[in-house]
């Protein structure tokens, strides 16, 4: 039996992530091996998001609330990796799901392999301390907020920051408005 047929039978002819039945294909979970245990049956939308992750369709990935509980390790790995990406983008619901998710040690190690391959430059604060999504920082100088009509004052706490694709910038809320901040103008608290 082919991998596709095995996955169709396992998934009851539905995407193993969002349960759609349109445009089903095989997604090999990296590092991929050519067997059904290391593959997931995905719909066209999920496949496009996995293969071309920019821009992220955050609302589509709400389906992970259900698929993360799958008994299939490959589905757990894909769910964990997508939730991690969303949590790093500042989606608190995704971080909450990650905190609840359970995987055995072998499956978690497989899921975390993608993190080991992440070679992007770290985002550093003014003291050279690495910043992570969800960290709290304090502004070290007054910043004029373009388009916001206010000045973010030195000493203002910015809680639960998000990292951007540019390691020189972070995102956070100041005065209820989400703004981009140059990382060199903050220090980790």
Q: Which DSSP string corresponds to 64-130?
A: HHHHTT-S-HHHHHHHHHHHHHHHHTT-HHHHHHHHH----HHHHHHHHHHHHT--PPPEE-TTS-E
The string of pLDDT tens digits covering residues 88-99 is 888 999 999 999
Question: Could you give the domains of the chain?
Answer: 3-116 (no CATH), 123-188 (2.30.30.40)
Report residue 115's pLDDT band, with 50, 70 and 90 as the boundaries. low
The string of pLDDT tens digits covering residues 171-185 is 999 988 889 999 999
């Amino acid at each position: 039996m082919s991998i596709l047929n095995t996955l169709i039978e396992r998934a009851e002819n539905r995407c193993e992530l969002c349960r759609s039945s349109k445009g089903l294909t095989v997604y090999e979970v990296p590092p991929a091996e050519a067997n059904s245990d290391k593959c997931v049956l995905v719909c066209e939308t999920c496949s496009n998001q996995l293969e071309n992750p920019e821009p992220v369709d955050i609302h589509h990935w709400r389906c992970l609330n259900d698929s993360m509980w799958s008994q299939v390790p490959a589905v757990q790995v894909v769910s964990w990796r997508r939730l991690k990406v969303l949590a790093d983008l500042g989606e608190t619901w995704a971080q909450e799901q990650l905190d609840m998710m359970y995987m055995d040690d072998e499956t978690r190690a497989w899921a975390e392999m993608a993190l080991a391959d992440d070679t992007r430059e770290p985002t550093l604060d003014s003291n050279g301390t690495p910043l992570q999504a969800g960290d709290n920082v304090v502004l070290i100088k007054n910043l004029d907020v373009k388009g916001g009509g206010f000045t973010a004052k030195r000493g203002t706490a910015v809680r639960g920051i998000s990292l951007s694709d540019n390691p020189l910038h972070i995102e956070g809320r100041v005065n209820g408005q989400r703004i981009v901040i140059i990382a060199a103008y903050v220090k980790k608290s």
